[in-house]
Amino acid sequence: PDLCSARRKGYHGSSGQDHDTRSLQGKGYLSGHATQNPMMHDWNRVLVRNCDGTAFLASADDAWEVDGTPLYFRGRDNALAVVDALLSEHGLDRATEVVISGCSAGGVAAVLLADLLRDRIVAGSRSRSPVFVAALSDSGVFPEWSKPAPTGLLTFPQFEWIHSHVNASGGAPARCLAQGLAWRCLHVGVALPFVTTPVFLVQSAVDSWHVSDPDRSESLGVLATRIREEVLSAVRAPHAAAVDSCFHHCQEWGNIRWGAQSNAAAFQSWYESRRQEWLKRARAPAGVPPSASGVIFEGWPLMHAAEPWVESCYAGQSGHRLWHQALHRLGPSSTTSSSAAEPPQ
């Protein structure tokens, strides 16, 4: 893993060198092309950069000093400030539909901050129609391990550090924290049952970001079982998920299928059903209890049954594996470990 002090001036630690404009071609659910993004290609899209390494969860007043370098952990403050600016200056207050999405660390934030951001958006809305908010979390499941992960897999110890050191508890669902689950509430699989905003998970059971040696098929099978267990235990109405057996991390929106249905089509079907249920509740006369959600009867979550992965699962899988093998972060020379003074990323 990288250290925050090493990342702070690069793309993953600073937006200081970002360009004024950025192409979203090929960016899945952010794409403006109807073939890539059928449902949301003509929506307004906002890309919020995660630069503090805490999945937008931290709100630390003071900087951490590491070898004379100040490190700022204020991701949650940044996320809320972006929403406030969008509401006051860029027309978000007139929106009638909003999808809070994210990939990897952003996928964690999309789940944990869903209720907080939804409430902020609803409170700031000036639309004549009520605003419907849902969340889309891509590759945000980082499973817990009760014992050391098998050889060839990675674990992510930063969740406990983030909870203990940078005031991240305000980013976790309050009802989860009330159960005494503490830092575990920063895990999507633990937090999701306590989130009321409808959430759709897109997740690989053999997520490449969790893998250091893709040739260890037995370890990949253990990972697939663990991720599936975590998703199955967490997904309940109104939430849903599409879990595939392809080797990837994010990026394959619309490219992975369950029969004739892609992950993008599955999300759209779920989203439209949740929105219709929400509209019925919003229009119900005062004092009339809403009907029970039908999510549990729709067959969620979708699951690929194959293990450990399906060869040629999508067009770019072989290329992704070659890219993955070249990653310095996961290579044999990547032996940097985190110190007690700062968290691993």
pLDDT of residue 336: 37
Tell me which DSSP letter residue 104 carries.
T
Torsions phi, psi for 277 (to 5 deg): -60, -45
Of 315, 304, 317, the C-alpha closest to 244 is 304
Beta bridge partners of residue 136, listed in sequence order? 101, 200
Render the burial of 74-83: b for 16+ CB within 10 Å, e for the rest: bbbbbbbebb
- CB burial class (10 A; 0-12, 13-18, 19+) of residue 64? middle
DSSP tally for the chain: helices H, then strands E: 10, 9
Global pTM value: 0.90
Per-residue pLDDT, 345: 46
**pLDDT at site 79:** 95
What is the amino acid identity at position 209?
W
pLDDT in the model for residue 339: 38
Report residue 311 as tokens.
């060869």
User: What does the pLDDT read at residue 2?
Assistant: 65
Would you tell me how many other CB atoms lie within 10 Å of the CB of residue 48? 18
pLDDT of residue 220: 92
Q: Quick one: 272 exposed, middle or buried, by C-beta within 10 A (0-12, 13-18, 19+)? A: exposed
Mean pLDDT by 10 residues, the chain (345 residues): 71 78 86 92 92 90 86 93 97 97 96 97 94 97 90 89 92 96 96 98 95 90 94 95 95 91 94 94 71 56 81 89 77 38 43
Q: What confidence score (pLDDT) does residue 298 get?
A: 73
Q: Report CA 127 to chain centroid distance, whole Å.
A: 27
CB 225 within 8 A of CB 263: no
- What is the reported pLDDT for 293? 45
Closest CA to 238 of 197, 201, 289: 197
